[in-house]
Structure 1
Amino acid sequence: MRNSIIFVASAIAGGLAASSAFADDGLEPPMDLLAAQLRTQGYACDHPDSAHLDTDVSKPNAKVWIVACKGVNYRMTVVPDLAAKIEKLDN
């Protein structure tokens, strides 16, 4: 029983750590996760090529990512617990 409780607590802690990766400095989320967010919000991004953090405009609670998908680039402002602000960039 005790081992079950420890396992569940560890799983919850691991999940919380993974879900905060968008907001923490220095932790870049996988481009597939950003592409999934784009698709969830109605944008096309089936084959992400790259994603990088734009440190010049990012803020502590608003990370700005440049995501390159097949044929299109997006600027995503990611704020915890809100939908991402997405801008399509000219290529």
Structure 2
Amino acid sequence: MAQSHYFAAALLFGVGVVATNASAAGLAASDLAAQVRTQGFTCDKPQGAEKNDSASRPNEEVWILTCENGSYRMTVVPDMAAKIEKLDK
């Protein structure tokens, strides 16, 4: 019986992590879209953002932002303007 409680707790924790990651992705998309707009690009209705872990480095995150009207590769460095590249659809 104790094992089933551990399993249930682990399952609930895992669901919480997935929900948190999904929420973080939505938050990241709206934050990145705001950054894109402040730098002169258009991002109508952000659809999502995905971090590219293999291209990211410490203090330099690479994201793919998908908007209704296009996609962007963004290199984000704290306290600096992002490097933004418009991607072909």
TM-score of the aligned structures, taking structure 2 as reference length: 0.68
Counterpart CA distance in 2 for 1:59 and 1:35 is 21
Alignment partner of 2:63 out of 62, 65, 69: 65
Are the aligned partners of 2:71 and 2:88 in contact in 1 as well (CA < 8 Å)?
yes
Counterpart CA distance in 2 for 1:30 and 1:46 is 15
Give the superposed CA RMSD.
1.4
Alignment partner of 1:30 out of 23, 28, 31: 28
> Is the partner of 2:81 in helix, strand or coil?
coil
Aligned pair count reads 65
- Kindly name which structure, 1 or 2, has the bigger radius of gyration based on alpha carbons: 2
Are the aligned partners of 2:43 and 2:69 in contact in 1 as well (CA < 8 Å)?
no
Deviating 4+ runs (over 3 angstroms) = none
Alignment partner of 2:87 out of 69, 86, 89: 89
TM-score of the aligned structures, taking structure 1 as reference length: 0.67
Q: Deviations over 1:26-65 (max 9, x none)?
A: x755211110000000000021001010011000111000
53-62 or 27-36, which moves further after superposition?
Answer: 27-36
Counterpart CA distance in 1 for 2:87 and 2:28 is 20
> What is the 5 A alignment of 1:6-85?
29-85=27-83
Q: Which has the higher helix share?
A: 2
